[in-house]
Amino acid sequence: MAIDLDINTRLDEAQFLTNFDYSIDEWGAMTASQFGGYYDIWALRDKVVNYDCWYRATNIIIRLITLNRGVDTYISVHQKSIPPDHPLIPVDSAFGGTAIYQIKYINGCSYSGYQSHQICEHVPFNLCVTRNKGQIFINPKFQVD
């Protein structure tokens, strides 16, 4: 289990246990959602957000566009509220402040926050989990603060 202790002020046991409402044969990792809008776009990779949002947001400044506009374009637009009754959301990478992993899918995986530039450390780890055939989901019932 990976947890961001700077921000998680409300970890609810009942919400945590919702991860086990789903067969453990169906998932390699369950990641948290939030009580407000989903904030962790840097760690998110799916069919829509298949890029490093902060890399794009900061590099757009080079093209004479403000950082605020870059954040609006590549980050804020994706920070939506996810209702707790929404089905599991399949992703290639996510974190959301808390994630639980099945050991069998993390073999050979490691956290790394740098490639040719600073990256979200959860992305290479989660991509390794998916290469190891572990499916990753955002669990809307598993909400943290």
Q: Tell which residue, 46, 44, 71, 76, has the closest CA to residue 60.
A: 71
Using the predicted structure, report yes or no on whether residue 114 has a pLDDT greater than 80.
Answer: no
Q: Which domain holds residue 109?
A: 2-50+84-144
- What is the distance between the alpha carbons of residues 97 and 135, in angstroms, rounded to a whole number? 18
Any domain includes 70: no
Any domain includes 55: no
Any domain includes 41: yes
Q: What are the distances in angstroms from CA 5 to CA 2, 11, 98, 105?
A: 9, 10, 9, 24
H-helix segments, the chain: 13-17, 53-59, 67-74, 122-131
pLDDT tens digit string along 30-70? 999 988 888 888 899 999 888 887 887 777 655 656 667 77
pTM, 2 dp:
0.80
Pairing of strands 89-91, 29-34: unpaired
Any domain includes 93: yes
Average pLDDT over residues 74-92: 87
